[in-house]
Chain A
């Protein structure tokens, strides 16, 4: 395989693997920027993956080729509702946000597996019949070099993920809503003094993270795994958290980090067919994202600082 051929193969695969991570990491950015730590992303992804597959299996005859897309919406909605639990516990009930997030993770997988067994009487769902199609983008695919890499045989989900990342950047940095969101996460008391409703902002942010995490999970289950079982989402949510931190709590940073992690993942899966890469034991590629995150946090790759108020419940009148 020539170097160019390797690139044509690996770049679309990387973005394809990155799509669920991108969406979930952006969800994490919203939540943490508002000051709520969301360790529960894994559980939200599980919920999304589960709902996506069940909806796809149930309504494939009704919606035909549109089924995966509608499943995404339904999965986002379901995970959004599920995330309200985290919001209520950590914002209104002043629970330890990390603990509440852990509970979301445990609850997500438990509810999903319980329901799968109830619905299908077995531990794993059937494979879905209709997946996301690949397509070529007219004109752009003809650009030399970049065309075959980015615009040929692409998944709609990859485009969606990148579009949402750019949208998130615009919302967080260029709109009044984004300014309030960041203010609430950095200095809630000051924001409150200026008339920003801290509780409301945080609720909205957590629900956004739920919706995005759910869509991320549904993309994963409908593109990569094709069914839902106990190991479908196995650390994807935590890898999204890693991408968020590695991207320094910035939507575009998270986008870049997620693509990089997707790259590492695709290498560890498809690497055996690529010269040089196949010499590297796959374990190094598996642990690469996690090791890099630790390095990023330790300041070896530029200091990553969390939003100031993240992790603390806001109690009115308390100094």
Chain B
């Protein structure tokens, strides 16, 4: 079986298996899976309102997925997307309400602030990895919790002990009256345009620039890259910074689009962790990430309709987690596929 086909088949089979096991879970728990999946479908495509909501949910997933995927392509595992996203969210919301500027400057500035905040938060693990060979997985996890507590503390000090920042100014908002009218106030915003641009940018960096080639080379083999005259340390840091910038942008979507402010949060948003699922499902390719984010974002938003037929929304989280399992265990699916194709050849 050609390798390219298996690369596509593994995620597809994983999604089907995930949905199947999800159906079994519903059946065992005494719910009707057909009714459940119909409600899910309605929740995604039901009308313009749900469609708008689905797109809104997909938007940060694309960016979080790109962040994880970009790091993966350069040989790094960025579990810190969640923390970088929180810092980006905070930065965008702050710039959004603290400055008074014309929209043409204000909006780009707020978006840029989010990217920079995310990039800075990712710079620390990148630096530690490059200079001291500290594994980025643990550092980024720790940075997530530091981000959570620091962001909460900053919000409280900015607002004199309040729970959320003031709303951002109109000039920094990604929302628009046009989209609100079109989708019956679904909170859909222009962030999806930014997400799509970023998909192209990631593809361009990795496939069309010398720097992207270096980043990938470092991911494949550090020693060979060094021997070829590349600066490995610089590339590791740069990879983390770019990944963090994507994550920060995902935070900007929440700050400037969906919520219009930032609140004290007790736990993580989950977008960063779902980004890992998105990247894996999309085989770390920009287009794959877009597809993966579309699937998971749709599932996540559509699930909100499932309690209407009595099924807890968490069923979709179970399905997403299962899909990650199956994609991660791709080895066994590949073995299975190879056996199947060999049998066919034997016949």
Q: A94-B331, A298-B134 are in contact. Are A290 and B321 (CB under 8 A)?
A: no
Question: Which listed residue, B138, B267, B273, B328, touches A105 by the CB 8 Å rule?
Answer: B273
Asked if A171 is an interface residue, CB under 8 A from chain B, the answer is no
Q: A39-B137, A117-B312, A234-B266 are in contact. Are A95 and B321 (CB under 8 A)?
A: no
- Where chain B touches its partner, the secondary structure class is helix
B153 adjacent to A283 (CB under 8 Å): yes
B134 adjacent to A110 (CB under 8 Å): no
B149 adjacent to A231 (CB under 8 Å): no
Identify which of B115-123, B140-148, B187-195, B245-253 touches chain A. B140-148
* Binary flags per residue of A15-43, CB closer than 8 Å to B gives 1, else 0: 00000000000000000000000010000
B312 adjacent to A113 (CB under 8 Å): yes
B139 adjacent to A114 (CB under 8 Å): no
Residues of B within 8 A of A89 (CB): 325, 328-329
B325 adjacent to A297 (CB under 8 Å): no
Min distance, Cβ A230 to any Cβ of chain B, angstroms: 7
* Binary flags per residue of B287-318, CB closer than 8 Å to A gives 1, else 0: 00000000000000000000000001011011
Asked if B181 is an interface residue, CB under 8 A from chain A, the answer is no
Asked if A286 is an interface residue, CB under 8 A from chain B, the answer is yes
Cα distance, A85 to B327, chains bound together (Å): 14
A231 adjacent to B138 (CB under 8 Å): no
B321 adjacent to A297 (CB under 8 Å): no
* Binary flags per residue of A284-319, CB closer than 8 Å to B gives 1, else 0: 001100110110011100000010000000000000
* Binary flags per residue of B114-138, CB closer than 8 Å to A gives 1, else 0: 0000000000100010001011011
Residues of B within 8 A of A111 (CB): 314, 318
B142 adjacent to A290 (CB under 8 Å): yes
* Binary flags per residue of A84-100, CB closer than 8 Å to B gives 1, else 0: 01000100111110111
Min distance, Cβ B305 to any Cβ of chain A, angstroms: 15
A293 adjacent to B312 (CB under 8 Å): no
Chain A residues 77-129 with CB under 8 Å of chain B are 85, 89, 92-96, 98-100, 102-107, 109-111, 113-114, 117-118
Asked if A133 is an interface residue, CB under 8 A from chain B, the answer is no
Cα distance, A239 to B141, chains bound together (Å): 10
Question: Which listed residue, A109, A287, A293, A298, touches B317 by the CB 8 Å rule?
Answer: A109
Listed residue (A98, A241, A299) with the most chain B CB atoms within 10 angstroms of its CB: A98
Q: A95-B331, A293-B138, A294-B128 are in contact. Are A106 and B317 (CB under 8 A)?
A: yes
Cα distance, A95 to B135, chains bound together (Å): 19
B137 adjacent to A98 (CB under 8 Å): yes
A100 adjacent to B325 (CB under 8 Å): yes
Asked if A8 is an interface residue, CB under 8 A from chain B, the answer is no
**Closest chain A residue to B307, Cβ basis:** A117
Residues of B within 8 A of A64 (CB): none
Chain A residues 244-286 with CB under 8 Å of chain B are 245, 281-283, 286
Cα distance, A95 to B318, chains bound together (Å): 19
Cα distance, A107 to B318, chains bound together (Å): 5
Asked if B332 is an interface residue, CB under 8 A from chain A, the answer is yes
Residues of B within 8 A of A299 (CB): 132, 134
A93 adjacent to B266 (CB under 8 Å): no
Asked if A238 is an interface residue, CB under 8 A from chain B, the answer is yes
Chain B residues 25-59 with CB under 8 Å of chain A are 25, 29-30
B318 adjacent to A242 (CB under 8 Å): no
Min distance, Cβ B304 to any Cβ of chain A, angstroms: 14
Residues of A within 8 A of B29 (CB): 114, 118
Cα distance, A92 to B331, chains bound together (Å): 10
Min distance, Cβ B156 to any Cβ of chain A, angstroms: 9
B137 adjacent to A231 (CB under 8 Å): no
Cα distance, A302 to B29, chains bound together (Å): 50
Residues of A within 8 A of B141 (CB): 39, 238, 241
Asked if B280 is an interface residue, CB under 8 A from chain A, the answer is yes
Cα distance, A293 to B318, chains bound together (Å): 31
Asked if B243 is an interface residue, CB under 8 A from chain A, the answer is no
**Closest chain B residue to A306, Cβ basis:** B135
* Binary flags per residue of B271-285, CB closer than 8 Å to A gives 1, else 0: 001001100100000
- A residues with a Cβ closer than 8 A to B are 39, 85, 89, 92-96, 98-100, 102-107, 109-111, 113-114, 117-118, 230-231, 234-235, 238-239, 241-242, 245, 281-283, 286-287, 290-291, 293-294, 297-299, 306
- Extra A-B contacts (4), CB below 8 Å, given A290-B145, A297-B138: A98-B137, A102-B79, A110-B317, A238-B142
Could you list 13 examples of A-B contacts with CB < 8 Å? A95-B329, A100-B325, A106-B317, A106-B320, A107-B321, A107-B325, A110-B318, A114-B25, A234-B266, A291-B142, A294-B143, A297-B135, A306-B135
